[in-house]
Structure 1
Amino acid sequence: MTATENDRDILARTLWGEARGESLPGQIAVAWTVRNRVFDGKTKSWWGEGYASVCLKPWQFSCWNKNDRNYPYLSGAKPIPAAQYAQALKAADQVMAGTAPDPTGGATHYYATTMPKPPTWAKDAKQTLRLGQHVFFRVFGKSC
């Protein structure tokens, strides 16, 4: 699969929306959950085809929900601070190129520890990493 400049931009915007307060390694971990969905080994994946499709899949990355406070920035209505976007692009580039190893152990899901309680899908998932404000999982069975 060949990634496009749009894939790169959408992945970076997703990282900003989901993990802008994280270090570069934290953003790389979040980017790997997207990559693990992109390359899930299925010809027609439930997640979507390509980085942009996976990131924009409804209800998967809450920053893209139109009622989310991040959406005006991700949609371009408001500018993302340049330095923060640059870090997100760096993480996106390293993960898309495969130059940063996967610290998540194949995770396809995560949640922020700032949530009031863990999501219900986490009960049957295998935790693979806790990094910064995120907990990462491999989920077995049905997709969330």
Structure 2
Amino acid sequence: MKLVLLIFTLLLIATYISIPVQASPEFKLIYVVQEGDTLSEIADNYGISQNDLREYNDIKGTDMIRLGQELIIPFKTEEKDSREWEMTLFSDRKKSTLDSVSFELGQVYSIRVNPGQSLPEVNIPASKLIQYHIGVGDTLYDLARDFNTSINIIMALNKLETSVIRVGSTIKLPINNLTPRQVLQKIVKDSDIELLARAIHGEARGEPFIGQVAVGAVIINRVISSYFPNTFKQVIYQKNQFSAVADGQITLRPNSTAYRAAREALRGTDPTMGAMYYYNPKTAKHQWWFERRRMMVTIGDHVFTK
């Protein structure tokens, strides 16, 4: 693999971890895979084993690396002051650039190695983009991983000249590579969690915890299904669907277990295996209708069906 001039771009990580004032800066090195790269060549270039590189990036034995993929290269830094690090990492930059960069002792930084790769052209429809508010600790590397995309795509979408992002700013992020459930996790609101917890509490507070998670999973399955409304409020208050709405128990204040079950279901736990309905055989009206559907699991007093 040809060695090319390495272009370093900082991703500032705002961290609040306890590091002695005397400690040197800690750096995370991120290599962007180029055309023709292999894991063995990348590992050799950075003096690490291929197994360590795979393990550090959770690459399974049969997995292949792809163009544009970001790999974390584990390495240790020696004790240096901030100015020495500036000169080491940015020796190919102009002095004006160096003057605008400052490394603080005891902080954590990510350095992205992108050998001459230009930003791609992106044409993602607005319906597949969300507005994301940068929080403490966010980096483009982490966001690219969480949204199953690349740093280059995010930079191109937002016309960023560097990969430095600042807390409080807003950027566009693509959701076209996410499953409907993953998209829901990214856009869920506090009011949705509150309503979901109320529904769980009203419908299943006497059920075991996994049964409460299951009720939450059914509601979420409906929200992401094309056969039901697409918001929590519309799904939960759809006419004649949930007894807790009909008898007013939806107004009861949820307990801590209901909130925990709601968050567990939102994280993707689905004990029902994709069920859209559930009923209690002891109390359900029109039980014949449920029995005509595909039975999935029974949890506590509820039978879950598709």
Q: Distance in 2 between matches of 1:113 and 1:13?
A: 23
Does residue 61 (structure 1) correspond to residue 242 (structure 2)? The answer is yes
Conserved in 2, the CA contact under 8 Å of 1:6 and 1:52? no
Specify which structure has the bigger relative contact order, considering alpha-carbon pairs within 8 angstroms and separated by 6 or more residues. 1
- Which 4+ stretches in 1 moved above 4 angstroms? none
1:92-107 matches, within 5 Å, as 92-98=262-268, 100=269, 102-107=270-275
Residue in structure 2 matched with residue 87 of structure 1 by the alignment: 257
Residue in structure 2 matched with residue 134 of structure 1 by the alignment: 302
Residue in structure 2 matched with residue 119 of structure 1 by the alignment: 287
Name the SS for the 2:255 alignment partner. helix
Q: Percent identity?
A: 32
Deviation, structure 1 residue 127: 0.4
Distance 1:122 1:116, change over 3 A: closer
Distance 1:56 1:116, change over 3 A: closer
Deviation, structure 1 residue 91: 0.5
Could you give the per-residue CA deviations for residues 15-67 of structure 1, whole angstroms, max 9, x where no partner exists? 01110001110101111111111111x2xx4x2122222111121111101xx
Deviation, structure 1 residue 133: 0.6
Structure with the higher helix share, 1 or 2: 1
Deviation, structure 1 residue 103: 1.4
Structure 1 regions of 5+ residues with no counterpart? 139-144
Among candidates 194, 198, 201, match of residue 16 of structure 1? 201
Larger radius of gyration: 2
Output the TM-score relative to the length of structure 1.
0.76
Does residue 49 (structure 1) correspond to residue 230 (structure 2)? The answer is yes
Deviation, structure 1 residue 85: 1.5
Conserved in 1, the CA contact under 8 Å of 2:281 and 2:287? no
Output the TM-score relative to the length of structure 2.
0.37
Name the SS for the 1:106 alignment partner. coil
Does residue 27 (structure 1) correspond to residue 27 (structure 2)? The answer is no
1:67-78 matches, within 5 Å, as 68=247, 71=248, 73-75=249-251
Among candidates 88, 108, 111, match of residue 276 of structure 2? 108
Conserved in 2, the CA contact under 8 Å of 1:113 and 1:134? yes
